[in-house]
Structure 1
Amino acid sequence: MTTDPVRVVAQGTFDILHPGHLHYLREARAMGDELHVIVARRENVTHKSPPLLADRQRRDMVAALDVVDVARLGHPDDIFVPIHEIDPAVIVLGHDQHHDEEALRAALDARGLDCEVARASAREPAYDEEFLSTGDIIDRVLSERR
């Protein structure tokens, strides 16, 4: 008897890849057999500054990571379209992502999507100047290159 792979979804902006992103994606991948990553489209990032890098470049960089099985851009109008298409067993949120887990569960239920919602753990820097935030990297570049 063959069983379907356990699909896991992670999502984010992934503007400048850093060790925090890798920690999140590795932890998400460990929750299943396939990791599908949804990269937010620039026009849909409204909770923080829009990404500097183009949608396709951010998607391609995420897709190049060994831990990722499939990377795709989010839907331009409805964030649940890719969730319907992927049909994951688990959606893993980053430890600091702005999403409300209970509201997400309710929205999934309302759309007939049966999947678990989990949150990845935080990762502390391994040494003094290890950056785990895109904003911190940008700040450092600005301070060093001005």
Structure 2
Amino acid sequence: MKRIVATGTFDILHPGHIYYLEESRKLGDELHVIIARDENVRHKPKPVIPEQQRLRMVQSLKPVDYARLGSTTDIFEPIREIQPDIITLGFNQFFNEEKLKCDLEENGISAEVVRIEGYSGEGFCSSRNIMKQILIRRCKELQDDSTD
């Protein structure tokens, strides 16, 4: 059985997330998804959606066999427990693939690292862009309401 691990924050789910998980799932028999803990997200703004809700949403997605929150102290802990054959990275995830491979090896994990291409479909494909559009549209509505 070939186990795949996909990781991410998954704040405000969008088609890009679904594509990433579908493409990851195609690489094996089981897709395990590790959701970033609120306190561990440092490379971008803190998530809007609390971690337990993000976990629940990811668990409900069709391509996902298992989903769990990551460790607050050791990012490799759940990966050691799962023992995946492949770890997938989204096209815009900040990991340096070569460094990650070395870190995995140092942690006794022999998994292939595969970067999934970006989603090329239409629509909102970025949590940040979705939030930006919400702000733009709601601010415009508020301005329009105040001039009435």
Q: TM-score, normalised by structure 2?
A: 0.92
- 2:100 aligns with 104
Q: Which amino acid aligns with 2:120?
A: E
Match of 1:40 among 24, 36, 55: 36
- Aligned ranges 1:8-47 → 2 under 5 Å: 8-47=4-43
Unaligned runs of 5+ in 1: none
Q: Which amino acid aligns with 2:137?
A: E
The separation in 1 between residues aligned to 2:49 and 2:124, in whole angstroms, is 18
Query: Could you say which structure has the larger radius of gyration?
Result: 2
How many residues are matched? 139
Moved over 3 A (4+): none
How far does the alpha carbon of each residue in 1:3-49 deviate from its partner, in whole angstroms, 9 at most, with x for none? Answer: xx211000000000000000000000000000000000010000000
Q: What is the DSSP-based 3-state SS (H/G/I as helix, E as strand, rest coil) of the residue aligned with 1:112?
A: coil
- 1:139 aligns with 132
- 1:122 aligns with 118
What is the root-mean-square deviation of aligned Cα atoms in Å? 0.6
The separation in 2 between residues aligned to 1:66 and 1:131, in whole angstroms, is 20
- 1:68 aligns with 64
